[in-house]
Amino acid sequence: MATSLLLTDRLKGVIGDRTADALAKSFGMSTVEDLLRHYPRRYVVRGEFSDIAELLEGDEVTVLAEIAAVKTRRANGRNILEVNVTDGSAVMSLTFFNQPWREKELKVGKTGMFAGKVGSFNGKRQLSHPDYQLIPDGDDVDSALAGFAGKFLPVYPAGGKMPSWKISQCLEIVLDSLGEIEDYLPESVRNEFGYPDLKQALVSIHKPESLEAAELARLRLTFDEAILLQLLLAQRRAELKELDATPRKIKTDGLVSVFEAKLPFKYTDGQLEVNKEIAEDMQQPHPMHRLLQGEVGSGKTVVALRAMLSVIESGGQAALLAPTEVLAGQHFKTISKLLGDLALAGTLQGSGEGTQLALLTGSLSAPAKREALGKIKSGEAGIVIGTHALISEGVEFDDLALVVVDEQHRFGVEQRDALRMKAAKPPHVLVMTATPIPRTVAMTIFGDLDVSTLRQLPSGRIPIQTHVIPVLEKPHYLERAWERVKEEIAKGHQAYIVAPRISAGEEDETKAKISQADIEMAKLMGDEISSEEIAGTKDMASVEELAPKLATGALKGVKLAPLHGRQSSELKDETMAAFASGALDVLVATTVIEVGVDVPNASVMVIMDADRFGVSQLHQLRGRVGRGTIPGLCLLVSGSSEESPAMARLTAVAGTLDGFELSRIDLDQRREGDVLGRAQSGTKSHLRLLRVLRDEELIEQARRVATDLISTDPKLAKYSVLAAQVNLLREEERSTFLDKG
Ligand code: ADP
Ligand code: MG
């Protein structure tokens, strides 16, 4: 075939219809580019096989061996596939969790190359989830290996119908007839880093001359992903700077000063600094776009409130968007309390100064809603707090000047945009998150926001103690946990008991539940996730079972009530109010209490099936206790075995209160892929290689290059191929969470 294939050509017609169909089905590929972008996970070096008898634990090895035995078993609700292989020198085992389909290809008598890190289990050497390349039936080993052109055999993420060697064969065909490819990366940038051009990189990653060439190709392709994203974000930053906003300057004798004079505490140094950053942003004639991150309890609310008051001084309004009704209600109460009679302007109780608050949620009665809408429209309500109900059609503002978004990650872009449309000029935007985000993640995902961080907790806090309760090995620890709860209650304190789902036999409420993106990512990595994991229906604690059981059992005599997302908002409010006032001792709840709930008298939290929650989520949850001056205690109950990764995760949570550290662990655990993965529409994504933690340096470089390029040529007029590529990304990310701001 002539060397004329284009990236956009369809695979059908190039590699045979059946194979093309299988690639489409397994990986969603349809074009030559899709296939070329299916990068190998590693390379098996021909002739460098290890003897099984000589393997040492911890070695990265590839063995050439024959399958001697295959068996499956179940343990802890997982399907475990164990394959014994031998190379004549010794036997070793390969294990795969929840990938029953591999049994179909890993047949006794087959020979393959198996690569991975040597571990041990029960004193036996094993490879867990090795990469492998089976020798096709009918081929002897030598001729199979001879069939590959290079010395380095790429190992691809495989799917049920598409083993790695088949993918290799397709790529051989495509690479053989690949035409010229126009490189979108400017030559000056390529030269700066010594990167190969695009075609060379694509060839080298699949058919490397050397491992160094493969590595350089991979670097260049990873850099591509980083720079396209950074260019997009740099363009957005530039666009935002073009927008007009009303500058809001804080007066020396205005509402902010009155408020601060009444504040019962002093700002921390961190708060002072962030206050200043926000005030400076809002004095600009362009809208602020700032992310405020800080630990639970670090005092973000006060900072946000000050920003809100500063726009009210000049006649503007502020909207605070919360992800749930419970949280909106909490904010309303907290802010009312912080403002005192400053929130009662124009009413009999008011002192004349200040403003009014309006709460707008979906569950308001019609008259209450009418009243709130009226005050929002007239501008009487300077601070409007609500859920997404705020975004609905009927809501009109007099002069919306500032939008504060709490817990950003739960809001869609469209929703934020819709709210922004309600303002005459683009409002200032402040996004608050309690999930600490490592710097490069912030740069990658929130790259068009400026970032402020509160690292310090207000003084006087006593650090929370966290312990893991491994009920599988030590069931009696759980009784002790309930006793601890009773002891706290006897001291006049209160407790939360958290369960991952509302009722038995249905989906859980945790975010740890496996997302579509996770499933796709896992597929891409050649893993399979069991259907019960997907549905989250594995046996686990539920609020509806646990509450009555505790009420008549371990916590008999204690005043407890259930709280979850399916209750009416009246009931939820009633329960929360009762808990806040101390009329209830214990809340048995789902993660509805995760964010924002502030009851300083609560001192202990027991989290059931804690392994069902993500690391950051556990950290958020435990932030609900120890908020006052009494010490907090958090008990993580789990039925996982003490050696499991789940238990390691819980131990990590118990071991540190540093949210940044934990968010790194969280990212590691979720293979990081998830951070960007949620933004990936399946396999059709620009983000395949980039890993935000591992590639910190590369992301920094890409950001610098992107900022330079955009500052001299905002539309990339001189680089039309690159501009087209960035626009493609812009389209792709349009409806995803990368589109922040
Ligand atoms: P976050 O929103 O970051 O979770 P909050 O703003 O709700 O934190 O603050 C947590 C608690 O600490 C609240 O009760 C708040 O009133 C109090 N607080 C905030 N700033 C300070 C401070 N500088 N000194 C003492 N207490 C503070
Ligand atoms: Mg808060």
Name the residue ranges covered by the structural domains of the chain.
1-46+149-179, 48-138, 255-454, 465-656
Least confident of 472-476, 657-661, 680-684, 700-704: 680-684
Distance from the CA of 403 to the center of ligand 1, in angstroms?
A: 20
The stretch 731-740 carries a mean pLDDT of 53
Take residue 97 and report the two structure tokens written for it: 């969790």
Question: Cα separation of 116 and 94, whole Å?
Answer: 10
pLDDT for position 692: 73
CATH of the domain spanning 48-138, picked from 3.40.605.10, 1.10.3720.10, 2.40.50.140, 1.20.140.10: 2.40.50.140
Give the residue among 409, 246, 421 at the shortest CA–CA distance from 316.
246
Does the Cβ of 628 fall within 6 Å of ligand 1?
Answer: no
Q: Ligand 1 within 6 A of 267 CB?
A: yes
Which positions ≥6 away from 526 have C-beta within 8 Å?
41, 131, 157, 158, 159
- The residue type found at 344 is L
CA–CA separation, 652 and 665 (whole Å):
8
Count how many Cα atoms sit within 13 Å of the Cα of residue 314 in the half-sphere of its side chain: 15
To test the pocket of ligand 1, the residue of 301, 385, 406, 621 to mutate (highest count of ligand atoms within 8 Å of its CB) is 301
Helices 17-27, 516-524: axis angle to 10 degrees equals 140
- Domain 255-454 classification at class level: alpha beta
Query: Domain 465-656 adopts which CATH fold?
Result: Rossmann fold (3.40.50)
Given a cut of 60, whether residue 507 has pLDDT beyond it is no
Q: Out of 313-327, 665-679, 687-701, 703-717, give the one with best mean pLDDT.
A: 703-717
Distance separating alpha carbons of residues 384 and 373, to the nearest angstrom: 10
pLDDT for res 113:
83
**Furthest-apart CA atoms within the chain: distance in Å:** 93
Angle at 197 between CA 194 and CA 198, to 5 degrees: 135
- pLDDT single digits (tens) 627-684: 777 889 999 999 887 777 788 889 989 988 877 777 777 666 554 444 444 333 333 4
Residue 505 burial by CB count (10 A; 0-12/13-18/19+): exposed, middle or buried? exposed
118, β-bridge pairs = 127
428 lines ligand 1 (CB under 6 A): no
Q: Which ligand is nearest to the CA of 263?
A: 1
Summarize the chain as % helix, strand, coil (round to 5).
40, 20, 40
Cβ distance 229 to 686 under 8 Å? yes
Please tell me if the CB atom of residue 298 comes closer than 6 angstroms to any atom of ligand 1. yes
84 lines ligand 1 (CB under 6 A): no
Q: Cβ(490)–Cβ(529) under 8 Å?
A: no
Question: DSSP secondary-structure letter at 303?
Answer: H
pLDDT of 460 higher than 50: yes
| CA distance linking residue 529 with residue 518, whole number of Å | 9
Sign of the CA dihedral running 716, 718, 719, 724: positive
pLDDT at residue 718, as a whole number: 94
Q: Give residue 541's pLDDT.
A: 87
- Would the CATH topology of 48-138 be identical to that of 465-656? no
Query: What is the CA(338)–ligand 1 centre distance, in A?
Result: 10
Per-residue buried b or exposed e for 60-79, using 16+ beta carbons within 10 Å of the residue's own CB: ebbbbbbbeebeeeeeeeeb
**How many of the other CB atoms lie within 10 Å of CB of 299?**
19
Question: Distance from the CA of 297 to the center of ligand 2, in angstroms?
Answer: 7
Q: Which ligand is nearest to the CA of 265?
A: 1
> Which of 263, 298, 302 best tests ligand 1's pocket when mutated (most atoms within 8 Å of CB)?
302
Measured from the CB, is residue 302 less than 6 Å from ligand 1? Answer: yes
Gap from CA of 268 to ligand 1 centroid (Å)? 10
State whether the beta carbon of 701 lies less than 6 angstroms from ligand 1: no
| Protein residue whose Cα sits closest to atom 9 of ligand 1 | 299
Runs of H (alpha helix) within 255-402: 255-262, 269-282, 300-312, 325-339, 366-378
pLDDT of residue 531: 42
DSSP conformation class of 107: -
DSSP 384-450: EEESGGGGSTT---S-EEEEEEESGGGS-HHHHHHHHTTSSSPPEEEEEESS---HHHHHHHSTTSE
Distances (CA, A) of 459 to 17, 270, 374, 659: 67, 12, 41, 17
Distance of CA 702 to the CA centre of its chain: 22
**Structure tokens belonging to residue 192:** 């700066």
Q: What is the 3-state secondary structure (H, E, C) of 448-494?
A: CCEEEEECCCCCCCCCCEEEEEECCCCCHHHHHHHHHHHHHHHCCCE
Ligand number nearest to the C-alpha of 300: 1
The reply to whether ligand 1 has any atom less than 6 angstroms from the CB of 320 is: no
* CA of 302 relative to ligand 2 center, distance in Å: 8
Please name which ligand lies nearest the alpha carbon of 269. Answer: 1
Output the six-digit token pair for 313.
């001084």
Residue 613 has pLDDT above 90, yes or no: no
| pLDDT computed for residue 136 by the predictor | 75
pLDDT digits (tens, 9 = 90+) for 382-400: 999 998 788 777 889 999 9
Q: How far is the CA of 437 from the centre of ligand 2 (A)?
A: 17
> Which has the higher per-residue pLDDT, 512 or 332?
332
Instruction: Kindly state if the Cβ of 265 falls inside 6 Å of ligand 1.
Output: yes
Q: Are 659 and 295 in contact (CB under 8 A)?
A: yes
Average of per-residue pLDDT across 287-316? 90
User: Is any ligand 1 atom within 6 A of the Cβ of residue 268?
Assistant: yes
Burial of 302 (0-12, 13-18, 19+ CB in 10 A): buried
The reported pLDDT for the residue numbered 300 is 92
Q: Cα of 587 to ligand 2 centre, how many Å? A: 19
Distance 308 CA to ligand 2 centre (A): 15
Could you tell me which residue, 409 or 302, shows the higher pLDDT? 302
**Ion ligand 2: protein residues whose beta carbon lies under 5 Å:** 301
Amino acid 733: pLDDT:
65
600 CA: nearest ligand 1 atom: 14
CA of 295, closest atom in ligand 1? 3
- Residue 580 vs residue 606, higher pLDDT: 606
**b/e code 352-384 from CB counts within 10 Å (16+ = b):** eebbbbbbbbeebeeeebeebbebbeebbbbbb
What strand order describes the sheet that includes 465-470? Answer: 465-470, 633-638, 602-607, 494-498, 586-589, 560-563
Which residue has better confidence, 250 or 120?
Answer: 250
Is pLDDT of 736 > 70? no
242, burial (CB in 10 Å: exposed 0-12, middle 13-18, buried 19+): exposed
CA–centroid distance, residue 225 to ligand 2 (Å): 35
Q: Enter the tokens of residue 635.
A: 């008990």
229 lines ligand 1 (CB under 6 A): no
Instruction: Report the DSSP pairing between strands 111-121 and 124-128.
Output: antiparallel
Q: Could you tell me how many helices (H) and strands (E) the chain has, helices first?
A: 26, 21
Residue 266 CA: nearest ligand 1 atom is 23
- Judged by DSSP in three states, 211 sits in helix
pLDDT on residue 537: 41
Q: Is the CB of 458 under 6 A from ligand 1?
A: yes
Structure tokens that stand for 65 in this block: 């061996």
Helix (H, G, I), strand (E, B), or coil: what is residue 606?
Answer: strand
Burial of 273 from C-beta contacts in 10 A (0-12 / 13-18 / 19+): middle
